[in-house]
Structure 1
Amino acid sequence: AIPILWTLLNKRGNSDTKERIALIQRFIAIFGKDRIVNVFADREFIGEQWFTWLIEQDINFCIRVKKTSLSPI
């Protein structure tokens, strides 16, 4: 995958749910929701609110998680 949108964060570490949602909303505003086939992300991009938002928006996602992690979803 090649990044086409990103946000520079004024902090260390990964983004939080609010920042991720804002980025996806920017993408939708520019390209349209129908251009999203799937959101692929590494295990830093987890969280119940994040997953819930993606599901509510009917956005397919594939998030890599640790082998020892269990998800209620």
Structure 2
Amino acid sequence: MVLRKGKHGEFYGCSNYKDSGCTFNLPFKVLNKKLSKKQLMELLKNEKTDIIKGFKWKDKTFNAPLVWNREDQKVQFGK
């Protein structure tokens, strides 16, 4: 997994995407919170992260784990 830049900002994607044609990617930021490669690897391995501190939405800051929704292929907030 490598950090790449696209037209919509930075994201993590397959390290061998040019040769393999892999289009899988994960966001570099979620609600203005930068995610580390370690956090994203944990998400992929366990389908959930530990609680991540510092997400910002409007005037509020909150802490939450991220969960991988396998069916929708999306990252969501857990409880």
* TM tier, smaller: under 0.3
More helix by share: 1
Higher relative contact order (CA 8 A, sep 6+): 1
Q: TM-score, normalised by structure 1?
A: 0.26
TM-score (norm 2): 0.25
